[in-house]
């Protein structure tokens, strides 16, 4: 697993600044904690292995939202609530990331490889955060209201990330050329 992007790394600062500018200033979502979470989300997903962190029972990385949902259900059925919660949180993050940063890709590729299963990404991302917010016990009690807020403001968060994407495309600094290329 890759090391997290350090807090004061220029890339993390860039993501945080753009998320705050767009989520707080343009979208007008008065939740600095959500803007900061989105900046952290972008920093985490710089490492592709973070996108593939959910694994099935055989240890294979899951990149398909339908497969992730089935794995979360499997964990819940076996009473493994903490792994199920983490998978649900990842589904919310994964969907939000792709809806905000790569919406065109979602429109053309967001289906599941599972026959007979239809996954509406936006609905499942929002629903996954809502399920995470229902874990109101032990160490999760304090975080529960935050994930409820993410579910409540899911669409606004996606719009904020889409605006961040637009800002990243306009960066003239050659150090960020790889970001522009990834977004196109």
- Residue pLDDT, tens place only, 144-160: 999 999 999 999 999 99
Residue 117's pLDDT is: 60
Residues 73, 70: Cα–Cα separation, whole Å: 5
pTM of the predicted protein model? 0.90
More confident residue, 72 or 112: 72
Distances (CA, A) of 121 to 103, 144, 155, 165, 179: 11, 22, 12, 19, 24
For the cut 60, the answer to whether the pLDDT of residue 115 exceeds it is no
Query: How would you class 146 by CB atoms within 10 Å of its CB: exposed for 0-12, middle for 13-18, buried for 19 or more?
Result: middle
- Residue pLDDT, tens place only, 80-90: 899 999 999 99
Strand, helix or coil for residue 169: helix
Q: Please choose, from the candidates 149, 132, 150, the residue with its C-alpha nearest in 3D space to the C-alpha of residue 141.
A: 132
**And the tokens for 37?**
């979470």
Residue 63's pLDDT is: 86
Residue 116 backbone class (left: φ over 0; alpha: ψ -120 to 50; beta: rest): left
For the cut 60, the answer to whether the pLDDT of residue 129 exceeds it is yes
Please report, for the chain, the start and end positions of each structural domain, with discontinuous segments joined by +: 1-51+161-184, 62-152
More confident residue, 76 or 110: 76
Residues 136, 168: Cα–Cα separation, whole Å: 37
Q: How many helices (H) and strands (E) does the chain have?
A: 10, 0
């Amino acid at each position: 697993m890759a090391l997290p992007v350090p807090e004061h790394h220029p890339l993390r600062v860039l993501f945080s600044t753009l998320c705050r500018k767009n989520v707080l200033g343009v979208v007008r979502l008065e939740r600095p904690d959500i803007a900061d979470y989105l900046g952290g989300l972008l920093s985490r997903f710089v490492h592709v292995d973070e996108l593939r962190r959910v694994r099935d029972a055989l240890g294979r990385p899951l990149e398909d939202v339908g497969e992730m949902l089935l794995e979360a259900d499997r964990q819940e059925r076996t009473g493994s609530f903490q792994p199920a919660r983490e998978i649900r949180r990842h589904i919310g993050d994964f969907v939000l990331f792709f809806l905000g940063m790569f919406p065109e890709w979602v429109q053309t590729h967001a289906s599941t490889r599972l026959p007979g299963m239809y996954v509406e990404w936006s609905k499942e991302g929002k629903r996954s955060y809502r399920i995470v917010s229902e874990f109101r016990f032990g160490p999760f009690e304090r975080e529960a209201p935050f994930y409820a807020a993410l579910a409540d403001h899911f669409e606004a968060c996606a719009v904020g990330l889409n605006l961040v994407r637009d800002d990243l495309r306009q960066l003239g600094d050659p150090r960020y050329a790889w970001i522009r290329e990834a977004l196109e």
